[in-house]
Chains A and B, each alone.
Chain A
Amino acid sequence: MEVKNLNSTWHRDVSFYVNAGEIVGFSGLVGAGRTELAKVIYGEYRKKSGQIILDGQEITIRNPSEAIAKGIGFAPEDRKQEGLILKRSVLENASMAILKRLSRFHFIRKRLERETMGQYVDRLRVQTPSLDQEAGKLSGGNQQKVVLARWLAVRPKVLILDEPTRGIDVGAKAEIYQLIDELANEGLGIILISSEMPEILGLADRVYVMQNGRITGELSREEATEASVLELAMVDNLAVSDGEPAAAS
């Protein structure tokens, strides 16, 4: 996937690309516009201009449902508010994005649903007494795994992970890192938005650094260090090129 010259309420002239099988990290300070960028690409927020190109073709995405259809997945940062329906079961939460595939004439094929989702839930080693457990009763790490199970089932081409390990215990974190790696090896392009430096440095093949709605730099795996990333995250004068006066100061 390639994004060219994307402009929106939050962003100015953002361009980047993700290859299949690649993990691309997005680093930056809070408020740099990374989550918003994910949501613009995903069709949740509007873009003003710019192109999104997938498999060599420009695509239009007006809402999340179109994004999914085109092969883009998005696991949001806030699991409780945006990711899961806490009152509903693990099964329902996990199968939400592929209901069409699991249905015939709008009737859900429940056995197929259970078998299919059971596989993903098992692969991710979700600790749950059953598929019928309320998602809200799981721990943070297991909740995140349910969200990931949903996207594994969709089999997108590009998966955007926004702070995938926020508020998760160490054991589950390691498992999720391993999974991200596996997914990339299977050919998925992964956009990893994270504020945790070790996560970015440890997982990403390339790192984009953002500040004030712009990409301030691109670093290869070798170039990316805590210092180089932080430097790009805090270069404020870069945010006010185009001859406009500095917003701050």
Chain B
Amino acid sequence: MNIDKVSQETIQQPAQETARRPEVTGFRKLINMIGADNLSLIFALLVLILLITVVSGWFGMTGGDKLFSWQNLMNSLAQAIVIVGLLAIGETIVIIAGGLDISVGSVASVGSVVAASVLVGVGTVGGLGIFPPGNVYIAVLAGILAGMIAGLINGLIVTVLRVNPIIATLGTLAAFAGIAFLLAPEGKPIGVLTQPEFTWLARGRLGTGLPVPELGGAAWTGIPVLTVILVIVAIIFHILMAYTDFGRAIYAIGGNETAARLAGINLTRVRIHMYMLSGGVAGLAGVLLTARTTSGNPINGVGLELQAITAVFLGGAATTGGKGTIVGTFLAVILVGVLNNGMNLLGFNTFIQRVALGLLLIGAVAVSQWRQAREERARARAMAAQG
């Protein structure tokens, strides 16, 4: 065994290496760092902002000018994107791995009910008597843990039973929604208003004392704790996907399952961990829903999966897997948030917003498909050119 000889051989030809790999610098490096997909998202966001603030005025609509005020940015927008943002972040890794998790909304409902149940000491989980009621930390962890268990179930169904992920999570979407009701006492919401330390998660503000000038006629009131949690989770998941072997494995599995397995990646283990992560984040989203609505309500998470999945595809993830970033999803979450928020400000009703969201999902996937087809052609051309 003398393959180490490689190193000596190649070190003797450094000139060739530097010639072949010029260092990318300056503006190009910046663009590469942001990524072309993310640039188009930022561009779309700017167009949308222009539509809301300026163009809407040409058609006699009012209210768009309120977009840039601390009142709107911090009270409405920054909080509205948190729940969907968390679900979308978990969903991103599942979609990059070539799967889909439709059950995240129901998992959030379970997390919501479990957290409230443990906190107040009622319902199935809280009534077990193993958790000390009133402990905020334990309640939060219980909600996250419930989500991870739900994710583990998803993962086992997909890997051990080999059920297609869409069908598997469609099944658990229904099942977990039912379980959320079964865990609540008589299926009724559990109020948590008496726990101010807990509702702080949704109502608390950080950095209220910072000398930030007022914006849009509204004074700076600090950043919502909710938003800070979203940003922290996004950063953790970004690091996970961009810098760890787990992230690499996720991209590999989504890009080509067979090749990943033949290169020694343990598909089952990676997939189960992935669904547990997605479930855990959905559980956390559920906990925060409880804090925000001041009740552990079994219907808290209903319908949230649609917005989460929309954001992921809008963020540049490929429907076939193997492509996508947390940064892209995060930008897309902001885009969807601004769209909803802008439509609210301009006085569109929620039905029109739903139509817009549905169209956005289809549009995002259509663009993604078009992009993939273009890449396929580019690959074919590149190969033909090289013979």
Contacts and interface: CB of A to CB of B under 8 A. Distances in A.
Interface of A: 42, 44, 63-65, 67-69, 74, 76, 81-88, 92, 96-97, 99-100, 103, 106-108, 110, 118-120, 122-123, 127, 129-131, 134, 136-140, 142, 150, 152, 155, 157, 169, 183, 186-188
B322 A119 contact: no
Contacts of A92: 248, 251-252
Interface string B7-34: 1011101001100110000000000000
A139 B11 CA distance: 26
B209 to A, nearest CB: 36
A140 B383 contact: yes
Contacts of A99: 245, 248-249
Interface of B, helix, strand, loop or mixed by DSSP: helix
Contact of A186 (B3, B258, B378, B387): B3
A13 B266 CA distance: 30
Contacts of B249: 99
Given A85-B256, A155-B1, 17 more contacts: A42-B262, A67-B264, A68-B264, A74-B262, A76-B262, A81-B256, A81-B259, A83-B262, A85-B251, A87-B322, A92-B251, A92-B252, A99-B248, A122-B10, A138-B382, A139-B383, A139-B386
B68 interface: no
Contacts of B387: 139, 169
Contact of B3 (A68, A139, A155): A155
Contacts of A152: 3, 6
Contacts of A136: 379, 382-383
Contacts of A100: 245
Contact of A96 (B260, B322, B323): B260
B244 A107 contact: yes
B162 interface: no
A108 B244 contact: yes
B265 interface: yes
B263 interface: yes
Contact of B248 (A81, A84, A96, A157): A96
A99 B262 CA distance: 14
A88 B322 contact: yes
B354 interface: no
Given A123-B6, A142-B386, A152-B6, A82 B259 contact: yes
Interface string B243-284: 111101101100110111111111000000000000000000
B97 to A, nearest CB: 12
A113 B251 CA distance: 17
B152 interface: no
Interface centre among B244, B256, B264, B375 (most CB of A within 10 A): B264
Contacts of A44: 261-262
A68 B276 CA distance: 27
Given A88-B252, A92-B251, A106-B246, A187 B379 contact: no
B318 interface: yes
Given A152-B3, A155-B3, A137 B378 contact: yes
The 9 closest A-B pairs by CB, nearest first: A139-B386, A85-B255, A137-B382, A96-B263, A136-B379, A68-B264, A65-B264, A119-B10, A186-B2
Contacts of B2: 186-187
B319 to A, nearest CB: 12
A169 B251 CA distance: 30
Nearest to B382: A137
Contacts of B378: 137
Contacts of A110: 243
A86 B255 contact: yes
B1 A186 contact: yes
Contacts of A123: 6, 9-10
B296 to A, nearest CB: 34
Contact of A85 (B7, B244, B322, B383): B322
Contact of B17 (A68, A84, A118, A140): A118
A96 B276 CA distance: 23
B370 to A, nearest CB: 16
B3 A130 contact: no
Contact of B258 (A81, A107, A142, A188): A81
Contacts of A138: 382-383, 386
Contacts of B258: 81-82
A131 B21 contact: yes
Interface centre among A88, A92, A138 (most CB of B within 10 A): A88
Contacts of A63: 261, 266
Contacts of B10: 118-119, 122-123
Contacts of A137: 378-379, 382-383
Given A64-B264, A68-B264, A108 B243 contact: yes
B378 to A, nearest CB: 7
Nearest to A109: B243
A60 B10 CA distance: 36
22 contacts: A64-B262, A81-B256, A85-B260, A86-B255, A87-B255, A88-B252, A96-B260, A96-B265, A99-B245, A106-B245, A120-B6, A123-B9, A127-B386, A130-B20, A131-B21, A137-B382, A139-B383, A152-B3, A152-B6, A186-B2, A187-B2, A188-B3
A100 B340 CA distance: 44
